[in-house]
Structure 1
Amino acid sequence: MIKAAAVLAGVGAIGVLSWHGATGWAPSTERYPLQGVDLGAEAGPVEWGMVRARGADFAYVVATSGADRRDPAFEAHWAALPDAGLRRGAIHLYSLCQPARAQANAFNAFVPRTDDALPAAVDVSFRADCTARPDRATLIADLEGFIRTVEAHTQKPLLLRVARGVEREYDITAAIRRPVWTVANMVRSDYAARPWRMWRASDFRRVEGIEGPVNWDVVAP
């Protein structure tokens, strides 16, 4: 019994060490010098100065979702990021259930155009609150209209963040030639039709200054 308990304790210790190693992991800064975070919708308070001190160069924050939802914390985060020495970018969570033009107008009305801002990003994922699955031609045309409208406001090319499942079904990155942002934990994500410009390498990293797991991203060198 004593021996069995010791073995179980050892296994538990290895598991704890492995978990701490995973939550502290990030891609090498020698290979990827520019690294940062992206916040999900309705993220809590953030100590941005501390996040900067832990190696983040930039932060993307969700601004809008669909045609009718504004993230209540966006404006505070947007204002705080430059003072913390972090570059800032805004994200729109695209809805397959709402008109693309209305979504673009909602984003443009809420997110200010500033010279220091990084290119805005549109996230295309399957979401629990929307079961619509338009045909590929319709979705591509709608996204192209969304992109044109937002780019007319921001004056910068949009980043296209496409989830693996959406890309598998719609092959969006082959049709829309914009910088690609892919998502895959710890393993280089090469599922897009073109090389990625940004990669979310972890959605469980722990960083001082943010409560809970963090989305950690790197920029292609």
Structure 2
Amino acid sequence: MRKKMVRRKPVTRKKKKLSIFYKNLLRLSVVIFSCALIMGIVYHYRNGLAYYFSFKTDKVLEENAENKRLSDIRNHQVLGKLEGKSIGIDVSEYQGDIHWNELKTIDNDFPIHFVFIRATVGCDRLDKRFKDNWTAAKENKLIRGAYHYYRPNENSLEQADLFIKTVHLKKGDLPPVVDIERLSENQSMQRLKLGLRRWLERVESHYKVRPIIYTGEKYYDDFLKKEFSDYLFWIANYNFYREKIEDDWLFWQFTEKASASGIKGSVDVNIYNGDLQQLQFITVD
């Protein structure tokens, strides 16, 4: 006769509960680690924080100091660390009416040497304030440059011709710039790159100077770095933890949230990978 097999129920072991001592020790460790992390961040950004709260300056805190943003701290930190580099801004119609005679510094501390001004967009659009801004920058003795916002879904040569028709470079101006930030909606990446190169070659042929390419760091790394290595780049990267300009960047746009004398609201700030004398060296002859 076959014996009936009886399955035994699996024995479940009860987990030992952590003692109150170990629980408290774990909590204390987390608190200590968090405090150390915060202190490390505060120490790293001590110069920016000092500026922000006016601990090390004779600045008087304004009534609206509570509205200052964390970006102000980073701006001062980055600019302070890159002392000796040439600093500039870029503007368009979105900055409205600029008081050019007051446009001297970033955060009242860092002198502005140059300004890039948007001239054209796509095949058919002129920046509404380009003409006034272009003239005023020269009158106020700022090194000026013009840029074109490139639309990948429009004819590249028509875009180049619009820029050429609009922008008349003179001795002392910066090379022309093409701003490319978006992917095409109706063509391959290879076709987009071909159109971009046609724009660059048409503009270079006219001005007899090689243009600069402006783009974001990811766009640069993913699509342009290899095939357009024969061009110089102006890179946008607003990462809070980046404080250094890369060796292969000609310009670094590190923030879009700075304040400049003479401009109402925020403005982009750019750092040239060299001093003022080196910046003057790359201008149009």
Is the shorter-chain TM-score for this pair beyond 0.5, marking a shared fold? yes
- Shift in alpha-carbon separation, 1:32–1:40, aligned structure 2, 3 A: farther
1:210 partner SS = coil
For residues 29 and 116 of structure 1, what CA distance do their matches in structure 2 show? 28
1:15 Cα shift?
A: 7.9
**2:250 equivalent to 1:180:** no
1:28 partner SS = helix
Unpaired runs of 5+ residues, structure 1, are 1-12
- TM-score w.r.t. the length of structure 1 is 0.81
For residues 217 and 118 of structure 2, what CA distance do their matches in structure 1 show? 20
For residues 30 and 166 of structure 1, what CA distance do their matches in structure 2 show? 25
For residues 181 and 71 of structure 2, what CA distance do their matches in structure 1 show? 27
The match for 1:87 is 143
Q: Is the 8 A contact 1:22 1:205 kept in 2?
A: no
- TM-score w.r.t. the length of structure 2 is 0.64
1:136 Cα shift?
A: 2.6
For residues 180 and 76 of structure 2, what CA distance do their matches in structure 1 show? 28
1:141 Cα shift?
A: 1.4
- Shift in alpha-carbon separation, 1:199–1:38, aligned structure 2, 3 A: same
2:165 partner SS = helix
- Shift in alpha-carbon separation, 1:25–1:63, aligned structure 2, 3 A: farther
The match for 1:21 is 73
1:157 Cα shift?
A: 1.4
State the identity %.
Answer: 20
For residues 57 and 90 of structure 1, what CA distance do their matches in structure 2 show? 15
- Shift in alpha-carbon separation, 1:104–1:50, aligned structure 2, 3 A: same
Out of 132-141 and 210-219, give the one that drifted further: 132-141
**Which of 148, 167, 175 is matched with 1:119 structurally?**
175
2:137 partner SS = helix
Query: Residues 104-115 of structure 1 correspond to what in structure 2 (within 5 A)?
Result: 104-115=160-171
1:102 Cα shift?
A: 0.5
Q: Name the count of aligned residue pairs.
A: 202
**1:73-123 CA deviation, whole Å, 9 max, x = no partner?**
000010011221201100100001101000000100111131221011111
**Which of 42, 50, 64 is matched with 2:120 structurally?**
64
Relative contact order higher in (CA < 8 Å, ≥ 6 apart): 1
Unpaired runs of 5+ residues, structure 2, are 1-64, 275-285
Query: Residues 9-158 of structure 1 correspond to what in structure 2 (within 5 A)?
Result: 16=68, 18=70, 20-22=72-74, 26-28=78-80, 31-54=83-106, 55-126=111-182, 132=185, 134-158=187-211
- Shift in alpha-carbon separation, 1:41–1:47, aligned structure 2, 3 A: closer
2:98 partner SS = coil
- Shift in alpha-carbon separation, 1:16–1:34, aligned structure 2, 3 A: closer
Q: Which amino acid aligns with 1:83?
A: E
Q: Rg bigger for which structure? A: 2
**Which of 185, 204, 214 is matched with 1:161 structurally?**
214
For residues 71 and 186 of structure 2, what CA distance do their matches in structure 1 show? 37
